Amino acid sequence: MPSHSACAFLAIGAWRVSPAVKTGIRWSTNRPRVLRGSFALALAVASAVVPVVPVVLLTEGGADVSATALVAPAVSAPLARTAAATYDATRARGDRGSTRPGYGRVRRRGPERTGPSDPAPTIGRVTSPRPEPLTALPPLALPEPDATEAWLRARTDDGLAEARAIVERLRAEPPADALAALEQWDAVTRALSNVAAAGSLLGNVHPDEAVRDEGDRAEQEVDKLATELSQDRALHDTFAALDPSGLDAEATRLLERTLRDFRRAGVDRDDATRARIAELNDRLTELDQTFSRTIRDDVRSIRVAPERLAGMPQDWLDAHPAGDDGLVTITTDYPDVVPVRTFCRDAEVRHDITVQFLERGWPQNDAVLRELFALRHERAELVGHADWPSYDAEVKMIGSGPAIPAFIDRIADAAREPAERDVATVLARLRQDRPDADALTSADAAYYEELVRKEQLDVDAQLVRTYFEFPKVRQGLLEVTGRLFGLHYEPVPDAPVWAPDVTAYDVTSTADGSPVGRIYLDLHPREGKYGHAAQFTLVDGVAGKQLPEGVLVCNFSRGLMEHDHVVTLFHEFGHLVHHVLGGHGRWARFAGVATEWDFVEAPSQMLEEWAWDAEILRSFATNAAGEPIPADLVARMREADDFGKGTAARVQMFYAAMSYYFHAERPDDLTARMVELQQKYSPLRWIDGTHMFASFGHLGGYSSAYYTYMWSLVIAKDLFSAFDPADLFDPEVAGRYRDRVLAPGGAKDAADLVEDFLGRPYTFDAYAAWLSSAG
């Protein structure tokens, strides 16, 4: 069944004590939310929503990820995935080489989610001709803001009723014709997706709280029905009895996906097994929630004399006055711990808060995690898999459990020398202050990396900002992507929108003027609005049925932007363009970003490159005097950004190894295994007595698949290698990329999409070359 995506890609705005925070970025108080942009059907969903925890930011070494999404992997792991949110995990690193206090920032988009993917049966099948391009499909007519609540309720009720009616027909009179059955099933997917998408979007962006609550309700209703359908034995039997012989490749793929979803949910098992699976799903959801909540609630703190805070930015100091006893409280929440670890000159203060940060969740989460790993293993075995990683990887581009450690080792090897160079540079700087230092730990890494950037890679962030005025950046983004993908964006000033500063554009093909979709840009902070950066689906595109529509939801300044935010904007737009270009296929299940979870970030990670190209930046990054950003400044920005990439890659592989081995081996002593893995992979030495895994929130949402961020980056670098650095707009390459990678959506395996574009299977070469280059 369609299970596919629910996507909203959220990338995280940077954390800073900055306008963003003041205007509503909710770093540490993320509301539990599933950003379900589109989601297709049923099977998919099941439980999905689990509290979103701002996870590991800067866990070890200032390089890490955060954000979360969450699906209860257990419940419907296969399914859940499908339905849940997608998000961008990001690396947090100190603000590069800036002369201003940028504090820590979260950067680098990471994995989000997406639906499962199967090996597509290709032998002996005929590819169906693509349906006729959409011609006269009207965009969804959104209501005026004050009529939204009633409109959303009606859309929810009608969509759910439609889905139920189709399912009833499927149950009452199961079609013998496979295509007819699949069409009905996909109509259910589409109906549920429409409800979930509108609910998720409006639940996250509408200024009126009653509408947001209505949106949340819509999502919950869809989850409920989807869970019910995922466990429906009669529906499974109907699809299992179909004769696939007359189906074309895409329909065959849809049928196989549908059956696979049922299989992964255990619907085809005996009653006792199904009962045990249901029990496991419930317990796994509970454990996942407990794990996250324990981390979230375990806010620790230290108290220090004000004079020990030298180096901290003034606005941070202003916000942290001493208490009655003359001491300042520093908590383990990100707005404290990130800047302190990045800027505080007192090594002991950095050490003390780092230890507290690493100890969150300990010891309670040790037992919670051991039970979680054991039950996930049992859950996987009950549906025929050797272990949890194999079960989880079945629906991903990586394909199998054992491929995960092989990937980790490969990346770790490629990063070995670059990491050694990074550490030598940082350690040399550390020894100027502490001559006897023999290793780097996470208590010093962020601070000294920041110093190296500042002292050796001089980039004045204040100067950089003067070249990025929001209106010019937005215009530049549209011109760059329009030229690259052959698209024209026509403003639709009359389109009803949910808030005054939201703009709507009709997207058409510059080749023939045909409609491609509609997009909305909601780019500035507003009270009650979702606080990070994400792409939300409004409508999943299906040929002849409905036009694809998507929304960028971000929180950028209206004036000058950080370059990092410009990169985020390009990244998110990458998801948006994938959504609309991929929304012209036959099946809702495969619409837009419905590709494998470990691939879905790649197109967006690749589009970031256009925001780093000096020639391209010259076209829109001009200061108040109209002077374009100098190429040598862009080169230094890039160098500063790249600094530490070897260390970051090794640290990421340490996390990925924990994520994999904890699930594959289920060790009794998690601490001992963590220390071994840290010694093997991370260039940062373990701080004695700490238990970082207890607060490694991604063990919940990513389970054994933390490798995904790096995986999609490898693919992104490989995709980008096909473009000529001297002409990033080469129409032949760009057109081929658009048509072969983006347009198919999830109708083919990602590995095949990549091969169709590159003319060869994907390789690690481009990534390895990037990793070993300078920096």
Binding site for Zn ion (CB under 5 A): 9, 88, 109, 604
CB neighbours of 445 closer than 8 A, spacing ≥ 6?
60, 61, 62, 63, 426, 647, 684
CA distance 399 to 720: 23
From start to end of 381-501, where are the E strands?
Answer: 487-491
Tokens 């004036």 identify what position?
Answer: 559
Closer residue to Zn ion in complex, CB, 60/608: 608
According to DSSP H, which parts of 46-177 are helical? 73-83, 148-172
Closer residue to Zn ion in complex, CB, 109/296: 109
755 φ, ψ (degrees, to nearest 5): -65, -35
CA distance 728 to 723: 6
Cβ-contact 154, 220 below 8 angstroms? no
Q: How far is CA 343 from CA 73, 415, 442, in A?
A: 37, 27, 13
Closest distance of CB 613 from Zn ion, Å: 20
Closer residue to Zn ion in complex, CB, 425/708: 708
Residue from 67, 84, 78, 87 nearest 292 by CA = 67
Closest distance of CB 89 from Zn ion, Å: 9
Closest distance of CB 772 from Zn ion, Å: 25
Closest distance of CB 577 from Zn ion, Å: 12
Closest distance of CB 9 from Zn ion, Å: 4
Closer residue to Zn ion in complex, CB, 606/751: 606
Please compute, for residue 560, the number of CA atoms within 13 A of its CA located in the half-sphere on the CB side: 12
Closest distance of CB 80 from Zn ion, Å: 19
CA distance 575 to 657: 28
Closer residue to Zn ion in complex, CB, 91/636: 91
| Pairing mode of beta strands 91-94, 328-331 | unpaired
Closest distance of CB 55 from Zn ion, Å: 16
Residue from 629, 606, 605 nearest 619 by CA = 629
Closest distance of CB 285 from Zn ion, Å: 25
Residue from 624, 625, 607, 603 nearest 616 by CA = 607
Closer residue to Zn ion in complex, CB, 337/538: 538
Closest distance of CB 11 from Zn ion, Å: 5
Query: If residue 11 lies in a helix (H) or strand (E), which one and from where to where?
Result: strand 8-11
Closer residue to Zn ion in complex, CB, 106/369: 106
Closer residue to Zn ion in complex, CB, 357/599: 599
CA distance 658 to 369: 12
Closest distance of CB 574 from Zn ion, Å: 7
Closest distance of CB 106 from Zn ion, Å: 13
Closer residue to Zn ion in complex, CB, 380/710: 710
CA distance 612 to 115: 30
Q: Is 269 exposed, middle or buried (0-12, 13-18, 19+ CB in 10 A)?
A: middle
User: For residue 175, how many other CB atoms are within 10 A of its CB?
Assistant: 16
What the block records as the tokens of 613 is 């190209």
Cβ-contact 426, 147 below 8 angstroms? no
Closest distance of CB 114 from Zn ion, Å: 10
Closest distance of CB 31 from Zn ion, Å: 20
Closer residue to Zn ion in complex, CB, 187/553: 553
CA distance 74 to 703: 9
Closest distance of CB 109 from Zn ion, Å: 4
Closest distance of CB 10 from Zn ion, Å: 7
CA distance 596 to 618: 35
CA distance 298 to 695: 9
Closer residue to Zn ion in complex, CB, 600/677: 600
Closer residue to Zn ion in complex, CB, 223/608: 608
Closer residue to Zn ion in complex, CB, 88/718: 88
Closer residue to Zn ion in complex, CB, 9/362: 9
Cβ-contact 44, 79 below 8 angstroms? yes
Tokens 């961008």 identify what position?
Answer: 88
Q: Quick one: angle between helices 445-456 and 334-343, nearest 10?
A: 60
CB neighbours of 469 closer than 8 A, spacing ≥ 6?
559, 560, 561, 624
Closest distance of CB 536 from Zn ion, Å: 12
Cβ-contact 767, 717 below 8 angstroms? yes
Closer residue to Zn ion in complex, CB, 109/584: 109
Closer residue to Zn ion in complex, CB, 2/111: 111
Closer residue to Zn ion in complex, CB, 464/607: 607
Q: DSSP assignment of 559-625, as one string?
A: SB--HHHHHHHHHHHHHHHHHHHT--SS-GGG-TT-S-TTTTTHHHHHHGGGGS-HHHHHHH-B-TT
Cβ-contact 441, 685 below 8 angstroms? yes
CB neighbours of 19 closer than 8 A, spacing ≥ 6?
525, 557
Closest distance of CB 712 from Zn ion, Å: 9
